[in-house]
Amino acid sequence: MAERGPAPELATARCLENLIDPSRPLLLAVSGGSDSMGMLLAFHRTVTGAHPGIRISAATVDHRLRPEAADEAAAVAALCASLGIDHRILPWISEKPSSGIQAAARLARYSLLADEAGRIGAGAVLTAHTLDDQFETVQMRAARQGDTDAFGSAGMAPQMLFEKKTWVVRPFLNCRREDLRHYLKAQGVDWIDDPSNADPRFERVRQRSKTSLDTSDEREFLRRTETAAIMRGDRAELVAAAIDAHASQWRCTLFVMRDDGTLSQSLFAEAVAELIALAGGLVYPIAGPKMVKLQTFLDEAKPGSRLALGRCIVMRRAGNVLIWREDRGFTNLIVEPRGAGLWDGRFRVENATDRPVLITRTAPMTDSEDLDVPDAATPSIAAAACSALPRALFASLEPGESRGGWPGIQPIPVIARYDTFLPVFERTIGVALTRLLGLKPYPAPPLATVNLDRMMRQ
């Protein structure tokens, strides 16, 4: 392990030394800005000097939002060519939304990088988020939530799984942006300043103009984020164990959390909140006032009581808490031939036919229908849960066809909270949910050390 040297190279060395599978290449996301250009040079120098067996490639996403972006991407390509690093320009050619452009660009960027990582067989995509970015993230979350809890104070995860298959690693979360700029200046390398980084329409820019991380506060901020990250990971392990031991499901639509008194009230509530997010197809967790409402219900509700929360019905019944999708807010989906779509945030539907398919909710059932009702439920509860399942119909009928459901299309359960972005802190919960649903588990992260902040100061 390197003991001295520029901060970017130290961070790079510690990242490379913690790779579980160094035989797979690494894909560096390089925009041309100072952070990613510093990462490019640091990895090139460190790999060349100390880890010649590790292969690195680079990619630049051209969002096609500014005319000059193409020339900037070409400049990165030229630098990579001079360093002997494989590079590709990845254009975002889809139609751009009229609002929420930054969120859409972020999703498109990760998708393009993930596709490129898959093409070259990369073990991870590396991004150059810095300590400055981490500080801004924590401050923005505090402003939104009114306080910083263990979730927000941990900031960005050092490793994040994108769309269940591509790990994104952030090796520079303990490096200041100024460290990277000094590093580039020392080597006579220039960078590009993206004008969007000064556009006050964007939340991060506004936060940056309000406050920045003072040098004297760096060590304390790193200590707080590390402590919060450890707490977040430890708590996730407890929640995952609670789900494994106490949760069950029926037809991927009715979820049961057994309450035998062995779990603390707060831990039981957190496990139930995860099941609500799963049953309701929620991308964001139950938190803040909604979590207080759930905790109060679980602590005080009598058997038979119900609570509507997170697009779900939560019910106390005979030593169990039952959760199922509430009967409202369903939207139909058309899946084109040979295409796929996400229905209700809960099921992915693949259409292997050569005709458009309509995905709608199952028709409401009656209690008299023959259902294999689980012990924890009643026929009416099972019927209500079943009516929230998808069914597939041909969008248009051929002569002589009836409107009955077409059984050849099987829905695949989706974990909306984690399938797109899974922070390494919560991977244990995600894996517990895959076990509950009988799905393939999320892959292990590429670095042996989960908390990079801690690793970088070892």
Sign of the alpha-carbon torsion through 75, 76, 81, 82? positive
In three-state secondary structure terms, 276 is: helix
What pLDDT is recorded for position 68? 92
Q: How many domains does the chain have?
A: 2
Q: Encode pLDDT of 241-273 as tens digits.
A: 999 999 999 999 999 999 999 999 999 999 999
What pLDDT is recorded for position 404? 58
Contacts of 121 (CB under 8 A, 6+ apart): 24, 25
Does residue 353 sit in the same domain as residue 452?
Answer: no
Does residue 28 sit in the same domain as residue 108?
Answer: yes
* Tally of residues, the chain: 458
Average pLDDT value for the chain: 90
- Whether residue 285 is contained in a domain is answered as no
> Quick check: 318 pLDDT over 80?
yes
Let me know: does 124 contact 117? Beta carbons within 8 Å.
Answer: yes
DSSP 381-436: HHHHHHTTSEEEEESSPPTT--S---TT--EEE--TTTSSEEEGGGHHHHHHHHHH
Does residue 386 sit in the same domain as residue 451?
Answer: no
What pLDDT is recorded for position 213? 80
Q: Encode pLDDT of 12-31 as tens digits.
A: 999 999 999 999 999 999 99
Q: Encode pLDDT of 397-449 as tens digits.
A: 776 666 555 656 778 999 999 999 999 999 999 999 999 999 999 999 999 97
Does residue 364 sit in the same domain as residue 452?
Answer: no
> Quick check: 176 pLDDT over 50?
yes
Measured between its terminal Cα atoms, the distance across the chain in Å is: 10
- Whether residue 117 is contained in a domain is answered as yes
User: CA triplet 10, 12, 14: central angle to 5 degrees?
Assistant: 70
Q: What is the dihedral of CA 1, 33, 152, 113, to 10 degrees?
A: -80
Q: Which residue has the tokens 């009643």?
A: 378
Strand ranges inside 217-305, DSSP E? 247-250, 254-258
Strand ranges inside 92-190, DSSP E? 124-126, 159-162, 166-169
Q: Which of 137, 156, 181 is nearest to 8 (CA)?
A: 181
Does residue 146 sit in the same domain as residue 17?
Answer: yes
- Whether residue 51 is contained in a domain is answered as yes
Q: Which of 67, 66, 1, 72 is nearest to 30 (CA)?
A: 72
C-alpha 60, offset from chain centre: 21
- Whether residue 251 is contained in a domain is answered as no
User: CA–CA distance from 368 to each of 218, 324, 371, 373, 379 (Å)?
Assistant: 65, 20, 8, 11, 8
Does residue 139 sit in the same domain as residue 12?
Answer: yes
What is the pLDDT averaged over residues 276-296? 96
Q: Provide the domain limits for residue 395.
A: 333-374+381-413
> Quick check: 294 pLDDT over 70?
yes
Cα 7 to Cα 19: distance, rounded to the nearest angstrom: 19
Q: For the domain that residue 142 is a member of, what is the CATH number?
A: 3.40.50.620
Cα 329 to Cα 54: distance, rounded to the nearest angstrom: 50
Cα 122 to Cα 116: distance, rounded to the nearest angstrom: 8
Does residue 37 sit in the same domain as residue 184?
Answer: yes
> Quick check: 282 pLDDT over 60?
yes
Cα 244 to Cα 236: distance, rounded to the nearest angstrom: 12
Does residue 387 sit in the same domain as residue 450?
Answer: no
Q: Which of 198-207, 268-277, 373-382, 420-429 shows the lowest per-residue confidence on average (mean pLDDT)? A: 198-207
Does residue 29 sit in the same domain as residue 134?
Answer: yes
What pLDDT is recorded for position 408? 65
Q: Encode pLDDT of 111-149 as tens digits.
A: 999 999 999 999 999 999 999 999 998 888 777 665 555
What pLDDT is recorded for position 382? 93
- Whether residue 149 is contained in a domain is answered as yes
Does residue 406 sit in the same domain as residue 449?
Answer: no
Backbone angles phi, psi at 162, to 5 degrees: -105, 125
Q: Which of 120-129, 295-304, 365-374, 429-438 shows the lowest per-residue confidence on average (mean pLDDT)? A: 365-374
Contacts of 23 (CB under 8 A, 6+ apart): 53
Does residue 142 sit in the same domain as residue 187?
Answer: yes
- Whether residue 426 is contained in a domain is answered as no
What pLDDT is recorded for position 1? 39
What pLDDT is recorded for position 456? 43
Q: Name the burial class of residue 52, with classes exposed (0-12), middle (13-18) and buried (19+) by CB atoms within 10 angstroms of its CB.
A: exposed
Q: Encode pLDDT of 65-98 as tens digits.
A: 989 999 999 999 999 999 999 999 999 998 889 8
- Whether residue 209 is contained in a domain is answered as yes
What pLDDT is recorded for position 396? 77
- Whether residue 68 is contained in a domain is answered as yes
Does residue 450 sit in the same domain as residue 349?
Answer: no
CB burial of 365-380 (b: ≥16 within 10 Å; e: otherwise) equals beeeeebebbebbeee
Tokens of 398: 């051929």
- What's the pLDDT band for 208 if we cut at 50, 70, 90? low
Percent helix, percent strand, percent coil in the chain, to nearest 5: 40, 20, 40
What is the pLDDT averaged over residues 39-50? 97
C-alpha 449, offset from chain centre: 19
For residues 190 and 147, the model is more confident at 190
What pLDDT is recorded for position 5? 64
What is the 8-class DSSP label of residue 447? B
Helix (H) or strand (E) holding 83: helix 69-83
What pLDDT is recorded for position 370? 65
What pLDDT is recorded for position 453? 47
User: CA–CA distance from 310 to each of 169, 173, 277 (Å)?
Assistant: 31, 33, 7
